[in-house]
Amino acid sequence: MKDIITVTTIAEASLEKTWHCWVSPEHITKWNYASDDWHCPSAINDLREGGSFTFTMAAKDGSFSFDFGGTYTSIEPQQRISYIMDDGREATVWFEQEGNAVKITEEFQAENIHSPEMQEAGWQAILNNFKKYTEGLP
C-alpha cells in the first residue's frame, strides 16, 4: 500500500468562489504551480465522473515541463472531488465551509520517486498559491 499524504489550507473566501477557482481552467492556470519560477500555461478540465483533466506545469525559463492528469471518479459539487492520476495513484480533495472561509484538504497516494516530504512540500506550496490567488480576487 502506498503512503498517504495530506495537505490543507483555509481560504478566506466563499464556498462558491473557492470551488469556481479550483475547477475552472482560466483560474487553474493562475495558481497551479509550486514556486514562482514555474507556471501552468495550460489547463483542460472535464469536471464530471469519468471526465479527465490535464494541467501543464512548466519552468518559466523553458527548461522543463510536464503534464499532470487524471480521471475523475467521484464529484460532489462544492464538497468533494476524487480522481485517479494517470500513474494510477488516487487522490481526494474536500471543501468544508468553516464560517466565512473554506477548509481545503487534499489527500493523495505518494509516488515512489521523490521523498514523501518533498511531495508534501510541493503539494502544500501549490495549495498555498491557490489560497493566495483565491483570496486576492474581488
CB 85, CB 68: distance < 8 Å: yes
> C-alpha 129: how far from its chain's center?
10
pLDDT over 90, % of the chain: 99
- Report the alpha-carbon distance of residue 40 to residue 53 in Å, rounded: 13
Give the pLDDT confidence score for residue 91 in this predicted structure: 98
Which amino acid is it at 110?
Answer: A
- Mean pLDDT (the chain) is 97
Burial of 7 (0-12, 13-18, 19+ CB in 10 A): buried
pLDDT tens-digit readout, 60-90: 999 999 999 999 999 999 999 999 999 999 9
Mean pLDDT of 86-110: 97
Give the pLDDT confidence score for residue 2 in this predicted structure: 73
Confidence of residue 112 (pLDDT cuts 50, 70, 90): very high
Q: Above 80 in pLDDT, residue 34? A: yes
Give the pLDDT confidence score for residue 1 in this predicted structure: 61
Q: Above 90 in pLDDT, residue 15? A: yes
Mean pLDDT of 17-26: 98
